[in-house]
Structure 1
Amino acid sequence: CEEIDFLVDAVRNDENVIGSRMMGGGFGGCSINLVKKEAVNGLIERVSKEYKEKFNIKLEAYKVKIAKGSQQYTQQHAI
């Protein structure tokens, strides 16, 4: 998908991006980016502007925070 390729390419050489990958596909998809905390807002602003200029589509960006990770639940946690 040209739009997702664009998103990954847009951050490929950004020193504040630790990693980027495409997810999903078919009827859409997304890119997931690991970005240094202090650079998140600036990156979203820059890529949103470039995306709008190229495709005339408003980019939807979602900020997420990594949690403790996966955990194992035992039978005692069951409802």
Structure 2
Amino acid sequence: MRAVGRLVRQPCVHHSGWTHTGGEARCVECGTRRFTDYGALRPPELPQTVTPSDHARSAADRAAARQVWQRIRHRLLPG
């Protein structure tokens, strides 16, 4: 019997444990990386914590409500 394509290992279930360094966890067996802090993804020259203004939070709430309303309306109204 001949195999075509690349051989794929079974997915790792990460039983070997994780190493933790600098806002990142890495599976000992397969090397999968998981970021444990959002700050690990941000460049160091940017602020590490960002708090949106009241106006920005309100605008985001309105935009989300508008999206929900549009999806409901699209499903309820024909054509």
Q: TM-score range by the shorter chain?
A: under 0.3
TM-score (norm 1): 0.24
TM-score (norm 2): 0.24
Quick check: which has more Rg, 1 or 2? 2
Structure with the greater relative contact order (CA < 8 A, sep ≥ 6): 1 or 2? 1
The structure with more helix, counted as a fraction of residues: 1
